[in-house]
Structure 1
Amino acid sequence: MSVLDTTDALDVAGYAAAVRRSLADLGPEQVDDLTDDLEADLAEALDDERHVAHGRGVLEQFGPPEEYAAELRAAAGLAPASAAARAGLPLGDPVADARRLGRWALRRLRALAWWPPVESFLVALRPVWWLLRGWVVYQLVAIMSGVSGWLPHNLPAFLVLVGCVVLSVQWGRGAWFRSSRVAWIATTANVVAVVAVVPLLGSAQDWLGDRETVYDAYLAGALGNGDPETIVRDRAVDGVVVDGMQVSNLFVYDAEGNPLTDVQVYDDRGRPVRTTFDNGFEQYWFPEATEPWSFVSRVDSDGRARWNVYPLQGAPTSEFTYDDEGLQVLPAGSSATTPPWPFAKAPALDAAPEAAIGAEGPVPSPTSTP
């Protein structure tokens, strides 16, 4: 079957396009080299009165475009097209193959009556996809960097998000990534974004659900029509949460306000209270830190790892190496230290007076006179 849809009134441009489709498995640059000025050559041959077939149609004069394409291949010393290439299926360079497969699938869809209005609707939504694609790429970069969150929380992360969105929009508009040397980067990013968009949107929905629930509970307490001490979540969350933000470490001070170390923390049921559940694989930023930290566990007398001993100790992530099992470890000569404390000394506590439940403000001393 010819790659032409109709041969009744075939012009030079249509014939040249059909020849190029027959050569599509060679790649765009090689096709351009073989068919450079093809339209002009065909038109000149048709107008040449000395030609035996002068005055006849383009098909009658040059034969099927597939055969013409085969002659171009042979003249250039190239192997004949395979059966897959003759059928219009992709073969060769992965990026070019993906594009040809997309064009082949699109041609089949356009032959269906229900597809044109769907295609028009999807084309109108392309700018939305450009923005979403930039966000998805940012999320993947953030995950690989050990950062989590639906939106950036600092200026560097925000700039990365803006950069991903700009690159995505400019590529969608056809302004950037037009060279065949770099087009594979954008095509790969697009494929990865298509695969990752659904799970990332699912995780974003979970994160937003938690944030909205915490905010509602806080707002209810602030307005005086709820309990600000009780926060009900839609799903269980591991770790310690303060004001809706999950914390990575705990710092304990005694009654005199002095910092304490090696403090084991348990909840009311005797369960270890943990702030991290990554077993040392994640990275954590501290205020005014120049690089993230990673934590290590403590070992009890039974040789078991303990992650509820505070403050958690660790070191800047750049100091860690990996052992033979792929675990992150501190090399010889380096030791875990305590991260910077939020403040050197906490306010000291007075002797505990008897106070009424729910009392607010300063509690009078037992020796004071009303």
Structure 2
Amino acid sequence: MKKLQLIAIMFAFSFTACEQSYIDDIQAVDPGEDMEAPSISFNFPLEGTQIRVVEDITSINIDLEVTDDIEIDWVALTLNGTEIARFEEFLDFRRALLEFEYENLGNGEHVLEARAQDLSGKETVETVNFTKIEPYRPIYENEVFYAPFDGDFTELVRINNPDVNGTGVGFAEGKVGRAYRGSADGFLVYPADNLTNEEFSAVFWYKLNGDPNRAGILVMSAPDEDNPTNQNYREKGFRLFREAAGPNQRFKLNVGNGSGDNWFDGGPAADIDPSEDDWSHIAITISQQTCTVYIDGEVVSHGTYPGIDWENCDIISVGSGAPRFVEWGHRSTQSLIDELRIFDAVLSQEQIQNIMQNEMN
């Protein structure tokens, strides 16, 4: 009895809702009245999409919307000339939100086609062209990070995209292809979970803009909990930066050993003249016994120390000391940076010179 009462109440509510236009009536439409072909809109991939992952074969989630003025009959997806999916049942026969996971996408150029037909036989075809980029394979032993800055900021070994901070950062003609172009307040922050190793080396090309007259370049510091708005905690990680030395810019390395910090300042040997307007090759190597700074393949600073402490050094800043090394004004550089590579080993001088030579050819 209670069940019958409930059904009656629901029916009465539904009737009242329809009478008061709470629910739209569904009415049959003569296919002869069908005036328009279906409409297809891709949400992913889009024209020109570039898919970059570490695998040679990956999956892709195809996402599209199909609408029709009367009723959709079917929708088919074709990839590179082969049908991969067909849809013939729809919850809403005028608007279909369709998703399909294709699991065997290889490297190269791809053509995705969606074809939709309505009940009157009208068809629409939409096509997108996209690319799965071949994964980067490290070309040097112990290479764990590579950012070429060739039109994007992606780190290619692990496919990491940084947080882009500030405004105005972009790209310019580089030493090899394109390069990172700094700005007055911009910088990049990458995760550093794979970089805190017993040994560390970084190499890159740098085209100096002396304005501002001091700036951070590469920084892996721990948070300064006592001074969170103006950080400068130097007992962990490292800080590579530059500052004025007369008309020149002097490049310095500071490394935290857990209870203090150690300085590697080469004096005039580590100076670069901003007026030369040329590319310089910068390299640093850090072991648990020594640190070395190179400019254009030559040692400009070297010394022993107790060993680096990486505790809580979970990010690496590129193009600035921010956010963790700013108290002394070593903020954003407006210089160019290109071909940034990081290694989990100490590179020899010969290895650094070989990398330089390879990228100059």
* Greater relative contact order structure (CA < 8 Å, 6+ sep): 2
Task: Judging by fraction of residues, say which structure has more helix.
Answer: 1
TM-score by length of 2: 0.25
Higher strand share: 2
Larger radius of gyration: 1
